[in-house]
Amino acid sequence: MAPPPPSTTPQVITLVLKVFMFALLLASLIVLVTDTTTVPLDVIFELKVHFDDVYAYRYVLASIIIGLVYSLLQTAFSLYHLATGNRLISGDGGFVFDFYGDKVLSYVMATGCAAGFGATKDLKALADARKLDFDDYFNKAYASASLLLLAFLCAAVLSVFSSYALPKMVNES
Amino acid sequence: MAPPPPSTTPQVITLVLKVFMFALLLASLIVLVTDTTTVPLDVIFELKVHFDDVYAYRYVLASIIIGLVYSLLQTAFSLYHLATGNRLISGDGGFVFDFYGDKVLSYVMATGCAAGFGATKDLKALADARKLDFDDYFNKAYASASLLLLAFLCAAVLSVFSSYALPKMVNES
């Protein structure tokens, strides 16, 4: 006889978290890549700054894209699990994949967010000291990093869940 | 009859990792707080830069200090466990403390390190563009962030260990 299907309530919670994380990452991506500002330097010249002029923001972009790909994959896994009652990666592999995947991804997002905040804070201070008005540019960078911070919090909670799921694996083996 | 004492081999490994992490954090701290450079601007004036002139480095400092305090505490816990065979925080509390403590601390170090690298990369590029030779200053910042990165890797491994220790708690309860 097949074992009874596991309760789907935690599955629904993790699915909601994954979808929410995906939405936050997408919002963060859109805010970041549209972050372009033109500041007049004098009557003739103007300074144009695009988001990828700051190296740290390229890392932020990379971390967002990695997060998006992973959360899409995890959402697909969750939907498959909810629909069929089986895990796509059977046996212990699924738990181990979730555990390490969630852990590494949460680190990627945490570092992306920290690099974004760190660079923005100091570059904004430098721009202010030189009386250059890049507030729009840096505020959008802050907004993107803040959304990434919220996505990271979702990832950290998911990582706690997948750690607590490890005993299931040990008990099964 | 008392249960047999758990194998001390993993305890020794975690103790070594904790001590190693402490040493790396201490080295990172020393490199960071001694990061001061004076650059001649012209024949009269010179620019003096101290590590805490960069906001991101203050966050790096905070993350290092939090890491040092936590790794000292964890080393003391490990030594107590090795010496007496008992955990200082008895019952499930110890496992939960280790799990969340290691997790949060590894995030603190990851973000500290990312903020340090992110700010250094862009500020160094700006200094280079303005032909200011702050290479010594930024290279020391890189060195500090690199040591913090190694300490973070120790913290991440410890966090994996404390996650895998959770089943013990669940089985005991």
CA distances from A135 to A36, A49, A99, A138, A163 (A): 11, 12, 40, 5, 41
Which of B54, B114, B171 lies closest to A114 in CB terms?
B114
Q: Is residue B138 part of a domain?
A: yes
Are the Cβ atoms of B114 and A119 closer than 8 angstroms?
Answer: no
pLDDT band at B169 (very low <50, low <70, confident <90, very high): low
Which of B107, B110, B167 lies closest to A170 in CB terms?
B167
3-state secondary structure of B124: helix
Task: Please spell the DSSP secondary structure of B128-145, one letter per residue.
Answer: HHTT---HHHHHHHHHHH
- Which residues does residue B39 pair with via DSSP β-bridges, in sequence order? B47
Both structure tokens of A79: 């939907």
Tell me how crowded residue B51 is: count the other CB atoms within 10 A of its CB.
20
pLDDT band at A169 (very low <50, low <70, confident <90, very high): low
- Residue A111 pLDDT more than 50? yes
Domain range spanning residue B121? 13-168
Are the Cβ atoms of B115 and A110 closer than 8 angstroms?
Answer: no
Cβ contacts of B170 on chain A, cutoff 8 Å: 167
Write out pLDDT tens, residues B82-112.
Answer: 888 888 777 778 888 889 999 999 999 999 9
- Residue A33 pLDDT more than 80? yes
- Residue A50 pLDDT more than 80? yes
Q: Is residue B8 part of a domain?
A: no
Q: Is residue B122 part of a domain?
A: yes
Q: Is residue A2 part of a domain?
A: no
Cβ contacts of A130 on chain B, cutoff 8 Å: none
* Domains held by chain B: number: 1
Cβ atoms of B168 and B94 closer than 8 Å: no
Q: What is the pLDDT of residue A4?
A: 42
Both structure tokens of A166: 């490890």
Q: Is residue A3 part of a domain?
A: no
pLDDT band at A1 (very low <50, low <70, confident <90, very high): very low
Q: Is residue A4 part of a domain?
A: no
Q: Is residue B123 part of a domain?
A: yes
Are the Cβ atoms of A111 and B106 closer than 8 angstroms?
Answer: no
Which residues numbered 28-47 in B keep a CB inside 8 Å of some CB on A? none
Which of A126, A163, A167 lies closest to B126 in CB terms?
A126
User: What ipTM does this complex have?
Assistant: 0.87
Average pLDDT over residues A121-139: 90
Q: Which of B54, B117, B142, B153 to mutate to test the interface with A (most CBs of A within 10 A)?
A: B117
Write out pLDDT tens, residues B46-87.
Answer: 888 999 999 999 999 999 999 999 999 999 988 888 888 888
Q: What is the pLDDT of residue B3?
A: 45
Average pLDDT over residues B1-8: 43
Q: Is residue A157 part of a domain?
A: yes
Are the Cβ atoms of B103 and A170 closer than 8 angstroms?
Answer: no
